[in-house]
Every structure is written in structure tokens, then in C-alpha cells.
Structure 1
Amino acid sequence: MSSLYHPTVARLTYRALLGRRRALILFSLPALLLIIALAVRVLTSADDSTADGILGGFAIATMVPLIGVIAGTGAIGPEIDDGSVLYLLAKPVKRPTIIVTKLIVAIGVTAAFSAIPTLLAGFILNGNGHQLAVAYAVAAAVASVAYSAIFLLLGTVTRHAVVAGLVYALVWEALFGSLISGARTLSVQQWALALAQKIGEGDLITSDVGLPAAVVLLVAVTVAATWYAGSKLRTLTVAGEE
């Protein structure tokens, strides 16, 4: 594992992701979730269905993919855009190590800014009744892995990674996923909800994908996206040297 993780690359990536502008966006979304949770709890004494609606409808469906876009594309996209990635590629660091290190950082940032606030919001809303807080927090953490890999890949293949990521997160998953049942099968959100459904008690949490299929798809997409991102980085190196 140590050969696939480079502390210096990780430190530079953390610094880039937690810069002033990105940090403001990263903090604002979890803050909004917690404000909503507090307001609902104080004003309406939220029941289980209300908690489920907020955690599933806002935290998992909106906040997690948006944070994934910011962290995943921001882990490498800006370096490619301004050409500074060539200085990194000139160092004696293996290309898979660069990609895996940046992926680990992106996963860590996405999970920290999504899973932890989701857990806190769940306890605020209904005190973890029916295990909703834990179930949705786990779903957020699991989704963070796949989203980070997908959006990191987008950062290596297009200069419009943020736009492409938003299209996937907000158009494919949120819009098409709510209208077309087949689209939900190819949704990171639904894969993560399959695990949440297993953890949660009762029938509040639902998913259109069975747990075995969801696990296979999550692993396959994460591995494939990471591998292809490394492949594209090798191509970028050759182009830069030529």
C-alpha cells in the first residue's frame, strides 16, 4: 500500500482542495444540511419520515455528489488545466501512485464533508431512530468512494470536468433517476442506498438495486475509473514530453 501512496503528493492535493474558494463551498453544503436539520427539529419536531426525506433527498441525493464533484475534479483537474501537473509528472513518482494518492485524498475529503454531517444531521432530526443516521452516513461514505473515482477520472479526461460532473450528478442521477427506473440502476446513489437499506430498520430506506449487485457495481466502477485515470495520465505524460 505504501508504494501506492505518496505523502508529498497527498499534502499538495489536500492544500489544493482545502484552499479558500473550494473550502468555502465544501463547508457551506454540510452547514446548510445542519441548519436545515436544526430548523426542522426546533420548528416541527421531525418524525422518522421527515428525517428520511431530508437525509435521503438532500444529503445523499444532492450534497454528497456535489462535494464529490468538488473534491474529485479538484484533486487533479486544476493541475492539468494550468499545466503544473507536468512538474509533478517529471518527478520520480509512478503514475498509478499519483492517481491512487489523489483518489485517497479525494475520498477522505468527500467522506469527511458528507458522511460526518449526515450522521450529525440524523441524530439531530430523530436521534438515529430506525438507524437512519448511521445508515445514511454509511451510504454517504460508500458513495464518496465511487464519486471520487468517477470525478477524478473526469478531471483527467476533460477540461470541463466540473460541468460534466454536475451533469452526471444533477441531471442523470437526480433528474433521469427520478423519472426513468432503468437510469436508477446505473446510479451511485442507488448503489449506496442499497447498503443503507440493509442497515436501516423498517422500510423507510429503499433502493432499486439489490445489495449484491450494488456492491459489485461500486467496486467495479471505482476500480475501472481509477485504472482508466492512470492510463490517461500516462498519455498526458507522453504528450507533454513530446
Structure 2
Amino acid sequence: MSTTTPTAPAAPPGAPKTSLFHPTVARLTYRALLGRRRALILFVLPALLVVLSVAVRVLAGADDSTAGGILGGFALGTMVPLIGVIAGTGAIGPEIDDGSVVYLLSKPVSRSTIIFTKLGVAIGVTVAFSALPVLLAGFLLNGNSQQMAVGYAVAAAVASVAYSALFLLFGTITRHAVVFGLVYALVWEALVGNLIPGAKTLSVQQWALAVGQKAAAEGAITSDVQMPLAIGLLVAVTAAATWYAARRLKALTLAGEE
């Protein structure tokens, strides 16, 4: 006597897929980020860092203090957050602004999947255009003396994750995401976060430096935030921003939806 094993009921046609990554959404997002004028800025900033590093090495020679100033001040303090703004807001903001997001939302893909996929793309682009150039610049400046190139590259990669999540959130809550992102990157991170002691605790840059200093020689990289607190804040901000971005996207309704 044969028996049959019950199978789970098939998902109804048009039901949203629940995986965390969707290849088609990822491909469209990559094209949006690297196929528009914003891609020029993505290439210009790292190129400027590399050219600056070569010029400094040729004119002044290898110097740890100068290397730290360029990698910590220009690269991590300005370039990385700006690239985060371009990639994070560009991953979804333009689609919401021009209304083309409705075509994506009408597909059988869960909105959480859309957010996770776009965040993954934004992180990948930000790391590629920030952490890798920082690593190269560090070797050009002082030959990775005191493991500074590696330490700052790690800090740039860590910061890329938090910036991508934060600026992706901006793209879902306001049509002026780039403006808000630039204010945060250039005013809070580059100015307030570096000058006011209390504000440094709320700076992604300082959290990333706390992680990066563990990859460098002792004293080569410093941070005003302790490592455990820095990791906790990085995780909390990234998770909270991603969760709320997904919530905001779910709040968008299409014509005909209840």
C-alpha cells in the first residue's frame, strides 16, 4: 500500500517572493548607479585621492603623519561619506522621485527584499569606490607603514555599511535625500563630528575609526569612541535604518491597492 507525503501548498500567483536578495533588482540598481552622471562623481573622488597620494609621495616622501592626515581627513572624513550619499540615495531615491518605483512595486517581490537588495548593491558600490582606493592610497603614501593603509581601509569598509543604510533611508523618506545626505556628510561628519567632543560619539566616522585602529599598529589610528560602543552603534544604526527604510517602502501604495 503506497503512501504519499503531503506537500506544502504552492504560493498563489503574484505572491511576493520572500528571499533577501533579488538578482533582477540588483542588476537594475547597479545600472542606475553606474550608468548615470552620478557615476562620474563615483570615479572622480577616488581618482582625486590617488592623484593626491602620488603627488604627496613624490614631493614630500613617505611620512606617517601626512598619510594619516590624508587618509583620516580627506578619505574617511570627506570622500567615504560623499560616496555613501551618492550610492545610498541613488539606489532608490531617483525611482521614488520620478515615480518609476511603481513598476518595481507592482512585481511579485516583497518590499523588504527590494530594500535588502538595494542596500547590498549600495554597500558593494560604496566599498569598491572607497575602501579599495583608500587601501591603494595608503600604500602609495607610506607603503602601509604601521598598517595604516589596512587600518583605514577597514574603517572605510565598515563606514560604507552604515552610510549606505543611513542614506538609503534618506532616499525613502524625502525627495531631498541628496541635500540631507550632504548636510550630514559635510556638516555633521566633517565639521561638527570632528570639532565638538560630545558629537564625536554620534559620528559614523569615529565608530569606523574605532574598528580600523584594531587593524593598524598601536597608536597609528585613534578614535574617541571605545570599540564595544562603536560596534554596538554601527550595528544599531545599520539595522534601524534598514528596518525603517523597508517600513517606509511598504507604506507606499499603488493605485488599486487596498
Identify the TM-score tier after normalising by the shorter chain: over 0.9
* Match of residue 66 from structure 2: 50
Write out the 4+ residue segments of structure 1 that deviate beyond 2 Å after TM superposition. 237-242
2:79 alignment partner in structure 1:
63
The counterpart of 1:161, out of the listed 173, 177, 190, is 177
Residue 178 of structure 1: how far off its partner (Å): 2.2
SS in 2 for 1:113: helix
Letter in 2 for 1:164: F
Change (3 A) 1:239 1:192: farther
CA contact (8 A) 1:173 1:183 kept: no
Deviations 1:177-223, CA, capped at 9 Å, x for gaps: 12211111001000000011112113131111100111111011001
**Distance of aligned partners of 1:101 and 1:176 in 2 relative to their CA distance in 1, 3 Å threshold:** same
1:97 correspondence with 2:113: yes
Confirm or deny: 8 A CA contact 1:17 1:23 kept in the other structure. Answer: yes
* Gapped regions of structure 1 (runs ≥ 5): none
Contact in 1 for aligned 2:88/2:122 (Cα 8 Å)? yes
Give the equivalent residue in structure 1 for 2:90: 74
Asked if residue 173 in structure 1 is aligned to residue 155 in structure 2, the reply is no
Q: Cα distance 1:7–1:55, how it changes in 2: closer, same or farther (>3 A)?
A: same
Indicate if the aligned counterparts of 1:86 and 1:240 stay in contact, CA closer than 8 A: no
Pair 1:138 & 2:138 matched: no
In the TM superposition, what whole-angstrom CA distance separates every residue of 1:66-93 from its partner, at most 9, and x where no partner exists?
Answer: 0000000000000000000011000000
Q: Aligned partners of 1:239 and 1:42: how far apart in 2?
A: 61
Structure label with greater radius of gyration: 2
Partners of 2:154 and 2:191 in 1: CA distance: 24
Greater helix share, 1 or 2?
A: 1
SS of equivalent to 1:198: coil
The question of whether the paired residues in 2 share the 8 Å contact of 1:73 and 1:162 is answered with yes
Note the 1:25-44 alignment, pairs <5 A: 25-44=41-60
User: Residues 225-236 of structure 1 correspond to what in structure 2 (within 5 A)?
Assistant: 225-236=241-252
CA distance in 1, matches of 2:239, 2:27: 23
- Preserved contact between residue 88 and residue 166 of structure 2 (Cα < 8 Å): yes
Question: Residue 165 of structure 1 aligns to which amino acid in structure 2?
Answer: G
1:224 maps to: 240
Measured in 1, the distance between the counterparts of 2:253 and 2:133 equals 38
TM-score computed with the length of structure 1 as normaliser: 0.97
User: Which of 99, 112, 115 pairs up with 2:128?
Assistant: 112
AA of the residue aligned to 1:204:
A
- Length-normalised TM-score, structure 2: 0.91
Q: How many residues align?
A: 241
Residue 149 of structure 1: how far off its partner (Å): 0.1
Amino acid at match of 2:67: A
